[in-house]
Amino acid sequence: MSGGVIVVGSLHYDLMVEAPDRPRKGETVTGHAWYPKFGGKGGNQAVAAAKAGAATRFVGAVGRDDFAELMRGTLQAEGIAIDRVATIDQCGTGMSVAIIDADGDYGAVIVSGANLQIDTAQFADPDLWRGAKVLILQNEVPEAVNIAAAQAARVNGLQVCLNAAPWRAMSADLIALIDILVVNAVEAEDMGTPPVTDLASAEQAANELSVQVPTAIVTAGGDGVAWALRDGGTGAMPSLPVTVVSTHGAGDMFIGTLCHAMAQGAVVEAALTQANAAAARHISTPHRAT
The C-alpha angle with vertex 194 and arms to 193 and 196, in degrees rounded to 5, equals: 100
Strand pairing report for 12-18 and 33-39: antiparallel
Give the integer Cα–Cα distance in Å for 164 and 123. Answer: 21
Number of other residues whose CB lies within 10 A of the CB of residue 186? 14
Alpha-carbon span 57 to 139, nearest angstrom? 18
Nearest one of 52, 34, 15 to 252, comparing CA atoms = 52
Residue 59's CB is within 10 A of a number of other CB atoms, namely 26
Going by the DSSP 8-state scheme, the letter that residue 157 receives in this structure is T
**What is the pairing mode between strands 56-63 and 180-184?**
unpaired
The active-site residue, picked from 14, 179, 223, 252, is 252
At 167 the three-state DSSP class reads coil
Q: What is the dihedral of CA 148, 150, 153, 157, to 10 degrees?
A: -140
End-to-end CA distance of the chain: 37
Pairing of strands 81-88, 56-63: parallel
- Told to judge if 252 belongs to the known catalytic residues of this protein, a careful annotator would answer yes
CA distance to 63, 192, 222, 280, 287, per residue, from 242 (Å): 38, 31, 10, 7, 16
Give catalytic residue positions: 252
